[in-house]
Structure 1
Amino acid sequence: MSTLLQVRNLIKRFESGGGWLSGPKQIVRAVNDVSFDVARGQSIGLVGESGCGKSTVARTLLRLIEPDSGSITFDGADLRQASAGDLRRLRQRIQIIFQDPFASLNPRRTVRQALSEPLRVHHLGNAQEIAAKISRTVDEVGLPQSALDRYPHEFSGGQRQRIGIARALVLDPELIVADEPVSALDVSVQAQILQLLERLKTERRLSFVFVSHDLGVVRHFCDEVCVMYLGRIIESGPTRRVLDGPLHPYSRVLRDCSPVPDPAARIKLSRITGEVPAPTNLPPGCPYHPRCARMQAECREKLPELASLAPDRRAACFFPLND
């Protein structure tokens, strides 16, 4: 498969404090040297604890947040160097589904207005063509035609997320960045939305960057997964191989903490101690070493690189697991 998105050495830092009451200025290292590729028709999952930087990575891909350094290449075009006009045209091919299906929709606009606006902005058809496109799209996401003239508050959470998906699809994108698209929904509704996304992925041959903290969702939907910790990717590879046989100790802890819906399944939980270090004061060496049971002197002194440890598997660990 050909590469659609290529991310290299992405870095994003935020300033915190510096005011009269907030103390000295501090630098929050949200994303530290992140690199990955997305092939056409492939779905890549970004997983990790809250605050690990996965949503920041997702938003920098569309330049909703400007990265400090690194490169983002979409189908040969450098997104960081793109002019305003070029970026607008490229965004037609890259869309995002937000986590909160209510906050991401304008409460003063009907579904028809919300879906027609992207088409008008990009000058994609006359009024009749836009109306036909919107009608086909709401059918595709499983909404009735009567939904077009209603407002977001009149829908359930799952229906609102279908509207958000329709808004992303209406421009016929090639890549969708999904920022925890099912985390705010009930479990039964999650399954319906995942089935919808899976069908759209197959029928439209869409590529996904899928952000989630739910490993069960990632296992079901994503071809490959990148595990993040304190702004870094610490392990990557095919989803099932990473989750069934993690190489990095943190990946194993993350896997063991994920609920298993099988009463007969018994998992020996990995032990973890300590708190996540502050992103304003990262420890020297491996950022995970203060919590790692396998920590040795080298872990405190050197930062492990994300290296190939097995076919299609990479991990940033001096003493990887042998699962």
Structure 2
Amino acid sequence: MKRITGTFLAKKFIKLVTLLIAVCVITFVLMELSPIDPVTAYVGASTKVGAEQRALIAEHWGLNQPPMERFVRWFTSIIRGDWGMSMIYRRPVLEVIGQKFLSSLALMSIAWILSGLIGFILGILAGIKEGKLADRLICAYCHILISTPTFWIGMLFILIFADTLGWFPVAMSVPIGVLAEDVSLLDKISHIILPALTLSVLGTANICLHTREKVSDIMKTDFILFAKARGESSGRIVRNHVIKNVSLPAITLQFLSFSELFGGTVFVEQVFSYPGLGRAVVESGLRGDLPLLMGIVIISLIFVYAGNLIADVLYRVIDPRIGEDWNI
């Protein structure tokens, strides 16, 4: 096992800080170029709000200041640990993100585990059955998944499992009109199953096709042919030789899927009206809530970067030749 040097960590940290600054600047500029007026989005369609009141609202939220001044003021506040107030929820940004992130984390965790397990199992099955009917069906299934939009799969699941069969609720994370203390664990599970299944479809195909390729290569090696010549069964070959050789690359690829997972969450939470971080991104963008949007951008970037960093470390553990910044 090799250890990570300080140089490696320093490079990763500098890259993270650079990405954070660049993404924050780009997000701010895009919001400034957006035709959405934050004050109009704040007051809604009400015609009773006059020009004087609109000016007071803009002054209260600092929207009457020049863009550069607002960005510098926001950036210095972030450095001090003050993430500001959300215009939509009238609460501190960190408080809103904390609540929304926990909901999304539960959804993403279930989907991440399901996609990894299902993709890994299907990939092994396709690899050991290469060229046969099972392999062709699994590959066709994966290619269909890759080319199908996530939101369309979500709507299809709602139509079949919620509307037609009535097995699961249509939307939301809890039953409508029920007090928080009256919501049971079974209610939460029943509401999260369909969104989690929809989101898990996003990563299943990549894991499956990658695992299939690795298994196919392993099944053609000399030690597998020797194991078959010794009379070992297919199940024993898979358990003793295949799984341990393809599991680490599959796990590494699974960590790299954090960005796709978070991006898919935005669509899934919109389709199922799931009150998570992905839905908050859309709401903050459409209603001009810049403090909340910038806060979510920072958290999501750190989340995705953490997944890529873990994958990078695992790659270097698997293949030491990759790690130039590692010391024995």
Which structure is higher in RCO with an 8 Å CA cutoff and minimum separation 6?
2
| Bigger proportion of residues as strand | 1
TM-score bin (small chain): under 0.3
Q: Please identify the structure whose Cα radius of gyration is greater.
A: 2
| Bigger proportion of residues as helix | 2
